[in-house]
Amino acid sequence: MQIGFNAPTTGALIDPDSLRRIITEGEALGFDYVTVSDHIMVPRNLESKYPYTNDGEFPAGTAAAWLEQLATTAYIAALTERLRFVMSVMVVPHRPAVLTAKILATIDYLSKGRLTLGIGVGWCREEFEAITAAPSMTGAKSPTSGWRPARSYGPRRIRGSTASM
């Protein structure tokens, strides 16, 4: 069994000193991995219902600042030597596919293979609109739909229905 913890990406603990302390102490305590969540931003006027609570309210609220997932993961990678990082989950349609794949591959390479990627298609229409990502590019229409690594280790070739790299 592996035990992990969540890195704050919103709230009072996202300042660099607090985040550094949480991450380095988590690694020193022997945790196996840290999860890093993904929201580019959450609009203040939120009509979309959060699908994972009974009342549809987003638990973090709408007024919070958010750290970007890829930049935060790169920061965590630079602070640690053993700790794995789990993207939990990356909202695929928020970012250009090829650029995102390159950034992820770079983080994985520079961290000596410590990246685990979890992907999803998102739920917040207003977030898609604010970053001009098309909500119609979710699910089966996502550029990454059907992506499968060609092999487990070394250089990877990814093939999807609308993108290949």
- Stated pTM of the model: 0.73
Domain ranges of the chain: 4-159
Rg (CA), the chain: 16
Determine phi and psi for 51, rounding to 5 degrees: -75, -5
For residue 99, what pLDDT is reported? 93
For residue 152, what pLDDT is reported? 43
The encoded tokens of residue 93 equal 């349609």
Residue with tokens 């640690």: 80
CATH superfamily, region 4-159: Luciferase-like domain (3.20.20.30)
Please state, in angstroms and rounded to a whole number, the distance separating the CA atoms of residues 159 and 149.
7
The encoded tokens of residue 78 equal 């630079």
For residue 8, what pLDDT is reported? 93
For residue 69, what pLDDT is reported? 93
Q: What is the pLDDT along the chain (165 residues), one digit of tens a residue?
A: 999 999 999 888 999 999 999 999 999 999 999 999 887 777 677 777 767 678 877 666 666 678 999 999 999 999 999 999 999 888 888 888 899 999 999 999 999 999 999 888 877 777 777 777 555 555 554 444 444 443 344 455 555 555 555
For residue 58, what pLDDT is reported? 67
For residue 144, what pLDDT is reported? 47
